[in-house]
Homo-oligomer: A and B are copies of this chain.
Amino acid sequence: MPGKIKLFVVKIGGNIIDDDVRLSEFLRLFAALPGAKILVHGGGKLATDLAEKLGIQQVMIEGRRVTDESTLRIAEMVYGGLVNKQLVAALHPLGCTALGVCGADGDLIRAHKRRHPTIDFGLVGDIDAVNAPLLDRWLGQGLTPVIAPLSHDGEGQLFNTNADTIAQEIAKAMSQAFHVVLVFGFEKNGVLLDMNDEKSCLTQIDFESFQELKRREVITRGMIPKLENAFSAVRDGVGRVIIGRAELLPQLIEGTSGTSIVWDRHENY
């Protein structure tokens, strides 16, 4: 997309955050990405561990954590504090001037409490708006935003918000001004045809194939919302979307590893 500056939006999940060796390798590669970049992170086992130690019960409905007041406080501590600040501190010596924020900071991510006909997910926020001009100014100042998966309603309420969704919404919002490359980094090579065989990774997946693989139950639960986020990004103007192993970041970007998400199978990237 000529005329637009490239922006990398990279999401990492709990699995890599919980592994010091893989995390430091990933951060080295992330910091080395040229130009503008944004890191979105989840929280991983640390939140579950802390909740357990404090005797806070976790309620899950359909694979999603229900967020009560106590669970939100854990998220504020672990995502907004511990993980966010440790990532920020670790990026500086790699030459990356990181700025760690959550969705409430600077009114970055506005959301409303999730509405659902039958399930009350508690203090979970669905995103209304991303403050793209604010991110744009920070990037222009040479800062690298590091974003914790919390949003707010502007009325004083913080929410837990899925990090994949935050990455996707940020990528969409920034696509007006940038050629955005959105990378979902996780612990697998990409979209696998056989969960137990990393070599069964697809190089590319289009929306029609995704629907077909869901029907055949080749793509199952955990992967479905992740891919729905990815397809939503592609549909809404994000330049490139890739899913793959976080510590192979350069290869994901080059296209020599991971799964590229495309809307139509005839698209060329």
User: Measuring CB to CB, which residues of chain A are less than 8 angstroms from any residue of chain B?
Assistant: 50, 53-54, 73, 76-82, 84-86, 88-90, 92-93, 97-102, 104-107, 134, 137, 141, 143, 150, 152, 154-158
Contacts and interface: CB of A to CB of B under 8 A. Distances in A.
B80 A85 contact: yes
A100 B97 contact: no
A30 to B, nearest CB: 14
Contacts of A150: 85
Contact of A154 (B53, B73, B76, B93): B93
Given A53-B54, A100-B104, A82 B80 contact: yes
Main secondary structure of the interface of A (DSSP, over half): helix
Contact of A81 (B54, B77, B90, B93): B77
5 contacts: A76-B85, A78-B81, A80-B82, A85-B150, A101-B101
A113 to B, nearest CB: 14
A92 B156 contact: yes
A90 B155 CA distance: 7
Contact of A77 (B77, B89, B97, B105): B77
Contacts of A158: 85-86, 89
B80 A78 contact: no
A219 B155 CA distance: 42
Of residues A53, A77, A85, A92, which shows the largest number of chain B Cβ atoms within 10 Å of its Cβ? A85
Contacts of A100: 101-102, 104-105
A143 B137 CA distance: 12
